[in-house]
Structure formats: structure tokens, C-alpha cells
Amino acid sequence: MKFAPRKFSIIFLLVWSYSALGQAENIAEKLGYPKDAKMLIIHADDLGMSNSENRASIEGLEMGPVNSASIMVPCPWFPEIASYAKTHQHVDFGLHLTLNSEWKNYKWGPVSAKDSVATLVNSQGYFFDNVPEVVQKGDPDHVEIELRNQVLKAKKEGIDITHLDAHMGAAMGSVDFLAAYIKVGREFNLPVLLDDAIPAMADTKIQEMLGPKDIVMDRTMSANPTNFANGMDVFYTSILNELEPGLNCLLIHLAYDDVEMRAITVDHPDWGAAWRQADFDFFNSKEAKKLVEDNNIVLVTWKMLRDKIVRAD
């Protein structure tokens, strides 16, 4: 299947799009670039999920061109990546706000007291597996409590949080969820990942919340299973060669295809160990760096957006 930049899946974050070029031009100028700059955040998701994910993502961030990442606070390997983030304050770390636990035999639950977010957990005390169940059963007040507590836990660990985004789109899964997500970002003066292709964004309640300091992507892109089957190098090469002016975010997942990741992602080939190794291989290649340079792509970070727009006087 040919990559279609205007297709979107709220559950799997396949490809987000729809351009707001006027805003993008304004953002480029505020960051000190020409208004037609091709700005890109190459963003690694799911840090904290496993040791493999942490190690591969750190290597990607240190080697480039990966320049941003987000951390899953409820996950078992959060302490490891939190320790790294605390001592590497220059690295662009946001939070991958998490409301579900999708793997077969590898689970996590809320950082909040379970009785305070009772609608977000199953009978075993874990988050629900899939996003539709979270949206169907979750109380938006409980969502707000849990999102806030994830931010507070990360801050307590000394992480310089640059932004918030949403694991598998769960925190954007309804109008009320999205409103809670935006509200928590505002409380901590942090940008949150938004895109006009999110269905709930069109609701009047959300539109009335948005202001000039909110960061709305022109395009948020991520590989889907067809792209993986056809080769990640083909997909990412096309993305970088065809990148349009504006504010773009490319979501990737870096991990090693090792025993740990194969056990975590058992019976789940999509977004599994081999997928994550393919992402790692491409973005740690000389070809990826050359494509960024040859296409005059400007790598920007969430920290830049936070400090020069959201927190600007």
C-alpha cells in the first residue's frame, strides 16, 4: 500500500495529518526559522517499557538523528530511564501518558491508588488491554487524576519534562479524555501533542480550549503493518524525501530484537521486537542522517517548542 499521509487511526497512531500551515509558519518563525521550513521531530515512544527499549532508545538519542523521546511512567523499567533522564537534562524527554496495558503476558497499572481510579483497572488491578475498553469504561475524572499523577511522579524523579503525548492515543480517545489531557498539560505549562486529525479535536469544547500557545502538528506520522511488511527503510526513506513544510512529528519505536522484547511482544508481530529493531537499524544508519541533511530538514525538539512558545512571555 502506498503511504497515505491523510489516514489516521486513533488507536494505533498509524498516520496523523491535515495541515494548519498558517500556524506552522508562525511556529517556524517563533523558533527562528523561515516560515516554509520543513521542521521535524523524530520521536521515540515507549521508553520505560523494557530494558531493551531503554538501551536502544538511549543509543538512538545519543547517535542521532533521533532527537526526542517519551517515557511511560507506570511501566516496570521507568526507574532506569528516569535515572538516565535526571542526569542527562539536555535530552528531550516527554511523558508517554499511559492508560492501557496491551501486551499478552506483560502488564502494568496506574501510579495512582487503584480505588481513586477504579474505572481504569480490570479485576487484576492492571490497565485494560485495549483502548476502546478504556474509553468505554473510563471515567474522565479518573483519567485526569491518573495523568496528573504520572506527571507528578516523573517530576519527583527529577525529569525535566518537555511535553506530554498519549500511548496508543488512549488519552485522546474521547472529547472528555482529550480535555483532561489538555488540562493537565496546562497545569504544568507543558505542550501536549495535538493534531487536527484526532476526531475529538473537532468538538466545540476542545476548540474553545485551544489558544495561541497550543502546539498543533501539521502532520504526525508513524509506520503501520503494511509499511513494516514492505520494509521500514522504504517507508522512512519516503517520509524523509517527501516531507512537507510545516511542523511534523515522526513517531518511532526503538528496541533490540532480543529475548526480553520477544517475550514481551509474544503473539504480537505488529509493533513487536523485529519491528522495533528495524526502526533502530534505520535511524542509526548513515543513510538516515544523510536523508535529513539532503532534504534540508530542520530537526526541532519539544523543549524548543516548550521554552520558545508555551513558556514564552
pLDDT > 80? residue 1: no
**Band of residue 233 on the pLDDT scale cut at 50, 70, 90:** very high
How far apart, in whole angstroms, are the C-alpha atoms of residue 159 and residue 188?
13
pLDDT the model gives residue 26: 86
pLDDT > 80? residue 208: yes
Calculate mean pLDDT across residues 174-190: 98
pLDDT > 60? residue 303: yes
Taking only the tens place, the pLDDT of each residue in 11-44 is 333 333 334 444 555 899 999 999 999 999 999 9
CATH number of the domain at 15-310, please?
Answer: 3.20.20.370
pLDDT > 60? residue 7: no
Taking only the tens place, the pLDDT of each residue in 129-161 is 999 999 999 999 999 999 999 999 999 999 999
Is the pTM higher than 0.85? The answer reads yes
